[in-house]
Amino acid sequence: MSSVQKLAGLLVLVVLLITAGAVGAWKVQDWRYGKQLAEQAQLHQDDLAAISSAAETQQRADQDKRLALEQRLATADQSHHQELTNVQKKQDRLRDRLATADLRLSVLVDAADTSSCSSVPATAATAGMVHGTARARLDPAHAQRIIGITDDGDRGLIALQACQAYVRALGR
């Protein structure tokens, strides 16, 4: 073997060793970066899981709040409905008593102004047990209209209270 061949063989060997070192370094870097990418991917998955869990917890809390509000509103609505029903029954009984003449509405008469109610006696009749100030009876039709007006007013007040309770419940 000549020295040229030895030099060429040595040169080929050096090139092979450098190439093998470069390929080995490339593989090591690939493994290292692959491991870092895997760790980052795992951290990303953990972050996503934490975010999803937090969102789920928040959604459950919001849903619980909504259900509690719905229950409070249903309870308030039921109590207002019951109150309205009771007032309606009371008004109906009052109307019935007025219609059957079981009850008569009357108003106080000004004792000092005797000229405006001259047809109403200032004193009670001997057969009656009425004591106190002079009163004048209202016509049953007028009494029914007055009861209707007070009924509308009572219903309006109950509806207003229901609306105010609803707004307060939403405000909490």
Report the candidate in 110, 131, 136, 132 with the shortest Cα–Cα distance to residue 121.
Answer: 136
Rounded-to-integer distance, Cα 152 and Cα 160, Å: 12
Question: What pTM value is reported for the model?
Answer: 0.49
> What letter does residue 114 receive in the DSSP assignment?
-
144, 95 contact by CB (below 8 A): yes
pLDDT of residue 48: 96
Highest average pLDDT, of 62-66, 93-97, 141-145, 158-162, comes from: 62-66
Give the pLDDT confidence of 19-72 residue by residue, as tens digits: 999 999 999 999 999 999 999 999 999 999 999 999 999 999 999 999 998 998
Is the pLDDT assigned to residue 123 strictly greater than 70?
no
Q: What is the mean pLDDT of residues 100-125?
A: 62
Bridge partners, 136 (sequence order): 107
Rounded-to-integer distance, Cα 170 and Cα 164, Å: 10
> What letter does residue 134 receive in the DSSP assignment?
-
Rounded-to-integer distance, Cα 93 and Cα 86, Å: 11
147, 98 contact by CB (below 8 A): yes
% of the chain with per-residue pLDDT over 70: 85
Is the pLDDT assigned to residue 124 strictly greater than 50?
no
